[in-house]
A and B are shown apart, each in its own frame.
Chain A
Amino acid sequence: MGQVKSLADLRKIKESLQEKMSLREKSNNPESLVQVRVAMATCGIASGAKQVMDFFMEEFDKRNIQAVVTQTGCMGYCFAEPTVEVTLPGQEPIVFGYVDSKKADDIIEKYVKNGELVDGIIPVNYQTIEKK
C-alpha cells in the first residue's frame, strides 16, 4: 500500500518543473501565446466541453506548445457545442464548432501549428464599414 499523496509531495513536482520552465521562458516571449477559450455553459458541458478542455490542456503540454486554455460562457451557438475560440498571436479570434477530441487534434495540428483552417468554423457577424 502506497502512501496517499498530500500537498507536501507537490514540492518535488514544483522543483523539477521549475528547471524545465526556466529553459522554456528564455526561448519564448509571452506575446507568442496561443489562446484557447472553451465555451462552458450548460449547453457546452452537456455536450462534452470538459473532455475537450482536458484534451487541449494535456496536448499543448505534450506537444510543447505554449498556450493559455480558459473557459468562457455560452456564445449563443448552442447548436454547435462544444465550441472553442482560438486566438493565434496577432490574429482575429476564430470560433470552431462541433469540437471533439479528434477535431481538437485537427485544430492543434493544422490551425495552431500551420495556420491552416479546418471544418466547422462559425462565421462571425459581418462588420459594416459604417460601424468603423
Chain B
Amino acid sequence: MMKDFAMHLMDIVQNSISAGADLIEVLIRESVKDDTLTLTIIDNGKGIPSDLLEKVTDPYITSRTTRKVGLGLPLLKQHAESTGGYLKILSTEGNGTKVIGNFGLTHFDRQPLGDISGTIVLLAAANVKIRFVYEHITDAGEFKFDTKEVNEMLEGMSISEAQVMKFLKEMINENLKEIKISG
C-alpha cells in the first residue's frame, strides 16, 4: 500500500529506469473545475511489448526474475480506481512508455501528494545520467523543473551534493507553494 503520490512516483519511475530511459518526464495536473488530479509519467525507455501491455496491471505478471509478483502498476491502478479515476498505459516497443493515472482530486480515498520535491531530487541525485523533467500545473499557474537546466547551472558539479539537493528541494517546494498545489 502506497501512502502518497510521491511513493507511487518513486515506484513507477523505477520501471522507467529499468527500461533504460535517459529522459523521464513527470507531469502532475490538478484541475479544481474538473475535480481531477492527473499523474503522467513519460519515458523514452525500451517500451512494453504489446502482448505484455494488456497484462501489466495483473499483480502476477512481472518482467523481473527475482520474484514472481509485480505490484507497482496494480497498486497505482487500484488507487486511481478507488477515487473514481483510471489508469492508462500507452507503449510501443522501442518507443518508450506513458503511464497516465487519473484521480478524483477531492475524493475521500485520494492519498495526499506527499514529498514530491524530495522524491524528484532523490531520483535525480541517484540517477545522474538520466534527465528528469517535472512539471506541475494547477489553476493558479505552473512550475517546471528540468535537471538539464540544473546541470548547466552546476557546470560539472554533481547534483547529488547534499547542499545542492537541499537547495533544489527548497526551491521546488517554494515554487509549488506559489502555484498553490493541493495536499
Q: Do A and B assemble together?
A: yes
A residues sitting closer than 8 Å to B (CB atoms) are 4-11, 13-14, 16-18, 21, 40-43, 45-46, 50, 53-54, 57-58, 60-62, 68-71, 73-76, 78
| CB proximity of A73 to chain B, nearest CB, Å | 6
Contact B164 A14 (CB under 8 A): yes
Contact B2 A46 (CB under 8 A): yes
| CB proximity of B62 to chain A, nearest CB, Å | 10
Q: What residue of chain B has the Cβ atom nearest to residue A3's Cβ?
A: B174
B residues sitting closer than 8 Å to A (CB atoms) are 1-2, 6-7, 10-11, 14, 17-18, 64, 66-67, 70-72, 75, 115, 118-119, 122, 125-127, 149-150, 153-155, 157, 160-165, 167-168, 170-171, 174-175, 178
- Extra pairs beyond A7-B149, A7-B153 (7, CB < 8 Å): A13-B163, A14-B157, A18-B157, A57-B162, A68-B160, A71-B127, A73-B14
**In the complex, which residues of chain A have a beta carbon less than 8 angstroms from the beta carbon of B14?**
40-41, 71, 73
**In the complex, which residues of chain A have a beta carbon less than 8 angstroms from the beta carbon of B167?**
5, 9-10, 13
Contact B70 A42 (CB under 8 A): yes
**In the complex, which residues of chain B have a beta carbon less than 8 angstroms from the beta carbon of A60?**
162
The SS class assigned to the A binding surface is: helix
A71 CA / B122 CA spacing, docked (Å): 10
Partner of A50, one of B1, B7, B163: B7
